[in-house]
Amino acid sequence: MKKRMLLWLLLPVLLFGCRQAPVQEAIASLPETTQMETTEETVPETTVEEKITVYPGATEYFLGEITDYSWEQEFPPEYVMIHFCSAVVNHFDDPYNHEYVRQTFTDAGVSVHYIVDREGQIFCYIPEDRSAWHAGYGTWLDDEKYTNKMNKYSIGIEVMGMGTYKEMSGYLHKWQYNKIPKEDLGFTDAQYAALKDLVADICQRHNIPLDRDHVIGHDEFSPKKNDPGELFQWDRIIPARGEPCPVTVETEFTVDDGLHVTVTNESQKEIDSIAIYTLWYDGEGQPVDVAGELAPNAMRDTLPEVGKEKISSYIFPTVEGATQAKQVVGAIYYTDGTSWEKENLSQWLIEHICITK
């Protein structure tokens, strides 16, 4: 009995960021900052389903019997929720040991669909066809539909990482936090790269808009939570869309010399490369077929090493049959890993396919 009581007393420090156990009376007594409670009216009877959907880039590592850590999915996912986690409380010197981190989930009876380790490896704890226990108490858009029920409408992703001292102060003393190596705070390049692909894939398959209205943090659903925190760089997993293009492109075209392009970087960030589309037309303003993927006459090229300065050394040879050309920037990739993409690029190309320069 004493051991059982000790386990409940330790629960508040087992996990931070995402805490939710099955519906149990004891959970209600935990501090609100560490609870992962649910107020779902009825827990449906669960059986092992034949359909199991897992992101192709993930390793299956289910939390035991998945029926012990998830519910049958009642509704298609509408959101992706990002969390952070570690085992720093019980294993300060080895906070990202996957087995230690995994144990915090099994000990607390909580779950999540995916977890991304520091090297960018993705593991699936619960298949996407089931509802994992990760969201807890909270509300979204002041809609009763989501209040304390976001587990039913979301795919949960944990990223191994730690936040600012303010975000970690509920788990560590200041002197402890100050001993954490700087490289253990925040998130790694490998994690951002893996997470970006994972989120994009989930959103595409479930018809979830890839934007900040639908890819949200645990702290946004439940303000008493603190993950993924201030150190998480959202623009590294979701391209900024709908914003003005941060570069200007000037062109000069002659049939003999080709298309000369000058790019000026209007932003303060250093550009790694630019994806640019050239639309080719004949003398009558009709598209010249170059077998483009997004539009028949749209040829995609990459401008490398743009940097911060104005560049004027790009030349695109004239394609056969073309006498006119028009260009549009499709995407900009910065050296810090962030990016910009033109909103509705495919539709733009279709609308402009027969418009001459």
Listed residue (259, 144, 154) closest to 203, CA to CA:
154
For the chain, what are the domain ranges?
7-236, 247-351
Query: What is the pTM for the complete model shown?
Result: 0.61
Q: Is the pLDDT of residue 34 over 70?
A: no
- Residue 63 · residue 69 · CB < 8 Å: yes
Q: Is the pLDDT of residue 37 over 70?
A: no
- Of residues 305 and 145, more confidence is placed in 145
What is the pLDDT at residue 278?
Answer: 87
| 241 band by pLDDT with thresholds 50, 70 and 90 | low
Give yes or no for a cis peptide into 228 (omega within 30° of 0): yes
| 350 band by pLDDT with thresholds 50, 70 and 90 | low
DSSP code of residue 150 = G
- Reported as a single tens digit per residue, the pLDDT across 147-175 is 999 999 999 999 999 999 999 999 999 99
Q: Is the pLDDT of residue 106 over 80?
A: yes
Q: What is the CATH number of domain 7-236?
A: 3.40.80.10
What is the pLDDT at residue 343?
Answer: 74
3-class SS string, the chain: CHHHHHHHHHHHHHCCCCCCCCCCHHHHHCCCCCCCCCCCCCCCCCCCCCCCCCCCCEEECCCCCHHHCEEECCCCCCEEEEEEECCCCCCCCCCCCHHHHHHHHHHHCCCCCEEECCCCCEEECCCCCEEECCCCCCCCCCCCCCCCCHHHHEEEEEEECECCHHHHCCCCCHHHHHCCCHHHCECCHHHHHHHHHHHHHHHHHHCCCCCCCCEEEHHHHCCCCCCCCCCCCHHHCCCECCCCCCEEEEEEEECCCEEEEEEEECCCCCEEEEEEEEEEECCCCCECCCCCCCCCCEEEEEEEEEECCCEEEEEECCCCCCCEEEEEEEEEEECCCCEEECCCHHHHHHHCCCCCC
What is the pLDDT at residue 254?
Answer: 82
Interval 325-341 mean pLDDT: 84
Longest dimension (CA), the chain: 88
Share of the chain above pLDDT 70, in %: 79
- Of residues 33 and 170, more confidence is placed in 170
CATH ID of 247-351, from 1.10.3470, 2.60.40, 2.40.10, 2.115.10: 2.60.40
| 336 band by pLDDT with thresholds 50, 70 and 90 | confident
Token duo for residue 90:
């019980």
- Reported as a single tens digit per residue, the pLDDT across 266-279 is 777 888 888 888 88
Interval 120-126 mean pLDDT: 98
- Of residues 305 and 248, more confidence is placed in 248
